[in-house]
Structures are given as structure tokens and as C-alpha cells.
């Protein structure tokens, strides 16, 4: 059993945070302007490196893994040095969608299912999770409209309490109470070093994480 | 354990059969059910593309706080959706039986047009016997 990835969406439908753990099909980096800055270093559009060295630290899938597991600088302002040079070819294992497309699909699915559940019950009932043959997607929505979405192994039990724990723990401590993080800005994600490290610690401590 | 309803969705996303068995979920108009079936058809296609590891099937079970939808996708693209209470352990086997009844009472019926709404009394009766009997509420 394992945990694949975590997405956080704000109430403006933007993905503000992303982190992955065991993911054999890493997402392609987003196209420029497709996602907000400071969501995740692993999927932001690659800036052309100034020394022309295309195999920079971000191009190796190995390093991407390391970077997405906690060793990341604080709220990252993407360098503006982008030019016409296309990002180098994707690592061969990356066959998925570009990250920005993927977040839109994830958000679309959870929103549609949420509305469908509300309509079917005529109450304020929440959609909690769905399962396919290879993964299970869980949703926890906060009162303030933040949506915590986690992809796990299909055999995992509900992880809503863990998502709630992420909200009341690291999210409160390092995002809500962090004066540097501009919440609800529609311009920035909420990625910062402490939040990422703290989320990582909680997820790695879970019994379903192996 | 209760069975709330059964939907049959054709391969184009159209609702060809819908029936409620016990109260618990809202009673919607036929139009709303049609829209919902179309939405589910789309979601089902998207969920198979979001897999973090290799290729995946579409959503098999969708859970809310008090009920779940179990989805059986057949090889021909027809989807059977059973709405049950969360604790119901028999949803998948029931769907298999529904599929059998569908094959017997609908597909072998020379007066049935494929992909069109199911208007077969025999299908109705047999589904009623299967799901009406195993759900706690009467049909």
C-alpha cells in the first residue's frame, strides 16, 4: 500500500500545492502560465538554464523525486529568464499529461462528483472517495473551500482523517499562520519549505505508506 | 444495507434504464437522471486517465458519506450502476447478476433496439425479484 500524491486546491479552482511520493508515471511539467508559481518545484515549467546545461538538477527524475520530498527552497519565485528554448525531452517514464492539464482534470472530477452527490442526496453530503483498479482518490473539503485531494493505493481505507490532520496541523501552522504566504492571492501557490517538510513527515509516518 | 437504485447507461452515455428501490436518496426527475448519467459517463472516462501508476480502469466504486455507487463496465461499453448503502458488501455480485438478466431479457429480445431505453416487462420483473428482494425496502 502506498500514497501517490497530494493536491490542494483553493476556492478559486486553482491548484495551490502539489507533492508526490510513489508515482511511477511522473507528470510532465506544466506549460508556461498553466499553473501558479510556488505549487511544486517538480512540475513548474522549466526555465532554460543560463549555462546551457540542459541536464540541470530539475531534469533528472531522480532529483525530481528528491525535490518533491522536502528539500525545497521557500516560496519560489520562478526566475524570469525564460526564453524561446523548449524544455528538454521528457524522461522516458513520463507518459502522463502535462501537470496543468492533470490538475484541471482532477478538479473537474472532484467538483462533478461533489455536485452529483449533493444532488442525489438533497442534503449537504460530501463526496469522500472513489476507487479504480489502480488508485483511490480521496477528498476532504474545508469550510473555507480548500480541497485536499489525495491519491492512494486502491486497497487503502479512508484517509479523510489524515487529510483533516494535514489541514489542522501543517496547513494551519505553516500556511494560514505564515505571514509570508499570501493566501487567496490567485497568483501564488502556498509551497514553502516548512509546510512541505511537515506534510512529508506526516505522510511518511503513516501505516499505509511503504 | 439497502439498495437505492439501478441505472443502466449505454456506451454513448445515455441512460437507458433507471429504477429506484428504496427511499433514502432524493427522488429526481427523469431529466436530472439523464444529466447525471451523462456526467458519470464523462467522469468515468477521465478517471481512467488520472492514474499515477500505469493504465487504470475507470472508477469502480464512488463513495459519499452515506451511500456508494458501484459501477460495472461491460466489454461492450454498457455501464451498470448500483446505488447502495455504504456497508453493502454484495453490490459487485449483484451487478454481475443484473448483467446476466440484461443479457437474457434484453439482448435476446428481438424487439429490443440496442442502445435504446429498455422497455421490457420481463427485465423489469426479474430485476425487481433480484434487487427488490435483497434490499430491505419493498419495490
Low-confidence winner among A9-18, A159-168, A174-183, B129-138 (lowest mean pLDDT): B129-138
Whether residue B67 lies within 8 A of chain A, CB to CB, comes out as yes
For B46, the enclosing helix (H) or strand (E) is helix B30-47
**Whether B25 and A130 lie within 8 Å, measured CB to CB:** no
Q: What is the predicted pLDDT for the residue at B24?
A: 83
CATH number of B3-134: 3.30.450.70
Q: What is the predicted pLDDT for the residue at B86?
A: 92
Q: What is the predicted pLDDT for the residue at A195?
A: 92
Q: What is the ipTM of this complex?
A: 0.89
Per-residue pLDDT for B11 more than 70? yes
Average of per-residue pLDDT values in chain A = 77
A132 vs B36, B58, B67: nearest CB: B58
Chain B partners within 8 Å of A119 (Cβ)? 26, 28, 32, 36
**Whether A25 and B67 lie within 8 Å, measured CB to CB:** no
Mean pLDDT over B91-95 rounds to 94
Which residue did the predictor score with more confidence, B13 or A184? B13
B25 vs A112, A121, A134: nearest CB: A121
Mean pLDDT over B50-74 rounds to 92
What residue ranges do the domains of chain B occupy? 3-134
**Whether A130 and B55 lie within 8 Å, measured CB to CB:** no
Q: What is the predicted pLDDT for the residue at B133?
A: 65
Q: What is the predicted pLDDT for the residue at B135?
A: 53
Q: What is the predicted pLDDT for the residue at A139?
A: 95
pLDDT > 90: percent of chain A: 41
CATH number of A3-204: 3.30.450.70
Mean pLDDT over B113-128 rounds to 93
Mean pLDDT over A21-40 rounds to 80
pLDDT level of residue A191 (50, 70, 90 thresholds):
confident
What residue ranges do the domains of chain A occupy? 3-204
How do residues A115-167 score in pLDDT, each as one tens digit? 999 999 988 899 999 999 999 999 999 999 999 999 999 999 889 999 999 99
Q: What is the predicted pLDDT for the residue at A51?
A: 38
How do residues A66-117 score in pLDDT, each as one tens digit? 344 443 434 444 444 444 444 444 444 445 788 888 899 999 999 999 999 9
DSSP-assigned states of every residue in chain A: --EEEEEEE-TTS-EEEEEESS-SSPPBPPPTTTS-SSS-TTTSPPPPPTT--SS-TTTSHHHHHHHTTT---SS-PPPS---SPPPPPPPTT--S-BHHHHHHHHHHHHHHHHHHHHHHHSS-PPEEEEE-SS-EEEEEE-TTS-EEEEEE-TT----HHHHHHHIIIIIIIIIIT-TTS-TT-SS-----HHHHHHHHHHHHTSTT--
Low-confidence winner among A51-65, A76-90, A182-196, B122-136 (lowest mean pLDDT): A51-65
Amino acid at each position: 500500500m502506498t500514497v501517490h500524491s497530494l493536491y490542494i486546491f483553493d476556492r478559486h479552482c486553482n491548484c495551490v500545492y502539489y507533492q508526490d511520493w510513489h508515482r511511477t508515471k511522473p507528470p510532465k511539467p506544466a506549460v508556461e502560465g498553466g499553473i501558479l508559481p510556488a505549487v511544486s518545484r517538480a512540475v513548474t515549467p522549466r526555465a532554460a538554464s543560463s549555462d546551457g546545461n540542459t541536464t540541470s538538477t530539475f531534469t533528472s527524475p531522480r532529483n525530481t523525486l528528491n525535490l518533491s520530498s522536502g528539500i525545497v527552497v521557500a516560496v519560489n519565485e520562478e526566475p524570469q529568464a525564460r526564453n524561446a528554448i523548449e524544455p528538454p525531452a521528457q524522461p522516458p517514464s513520463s507518459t502522463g499529461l502535462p501537470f496543468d492539464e492533470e490538475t484541471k482534470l482532477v478538479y473537474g472530477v472532484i467538483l462533478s462528483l461533489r455536485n452529483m452527490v449533493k444532488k442525489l442526496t438533497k442534503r449537504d453530503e460530501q463526496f469522500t472517495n472513489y476507487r479504480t483498479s489502480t488508485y483511490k482518490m480521496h477528498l476532504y473539503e474545508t469550510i473555507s473551500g480548500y480541497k485536499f485531494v489525495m491519491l492512494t493505493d486502491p486497497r487503502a481505507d479512508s484517509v479523510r482523517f489524515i487529510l483533516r490532520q494535514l489541514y489542522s496541523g501543517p496547513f494551519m501552522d505553516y500556511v494560514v499562520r505564515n505571514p509570508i504566504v499570501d493566501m487567496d492571492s490567485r497568483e501564488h501557490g502556498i509551497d514553502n519549505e516548512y509546510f512541505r517538510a511537515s506534510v512529508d513527515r506526516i505522510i511518511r509516518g503513516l501505516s499505509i505508506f511503504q | 444495507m439497502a439498495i437505492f437504485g439501478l441505472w443502466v447507461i449505454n456506451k454513448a452515455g445515455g441512460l437507458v434504464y433507471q429504477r429506484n428501490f428504496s427511499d433514502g436518496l432524493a427522488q429526481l426527475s427523469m431529466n436530472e437522471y439523464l444529466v447525471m448519467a451523462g456526467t458519470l459517463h464523462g467522469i468515468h472516462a477521465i478517471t481512467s486517465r488520472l492514474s499515477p501508476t500505469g493504465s487504470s480502469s475507470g472508477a469502480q466504486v464512488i463513495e459519499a458519506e452515506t451511500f456508494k455507487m458501484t459501477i460495472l463496465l461491460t466489454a461492450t461499453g454498457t455501464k451498470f450502476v448500483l446505488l447502495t448503502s455504504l456497508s453493502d458488501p454484495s453490490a459487485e455480485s449483484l451487478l454481475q447478476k443484473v448483467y446476466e438478466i440484461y443479457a437474457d431479457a434484453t439482448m435476446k429480445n428481438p424487439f429490443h433496439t440496442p442502445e435504446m431505453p429498455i422497455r421490457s416487462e420481463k427485465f423489469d420483473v426479474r430485476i425487481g425479484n433480484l434487487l427488490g428482494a435483497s434490499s430491505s425496502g419493498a419495490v
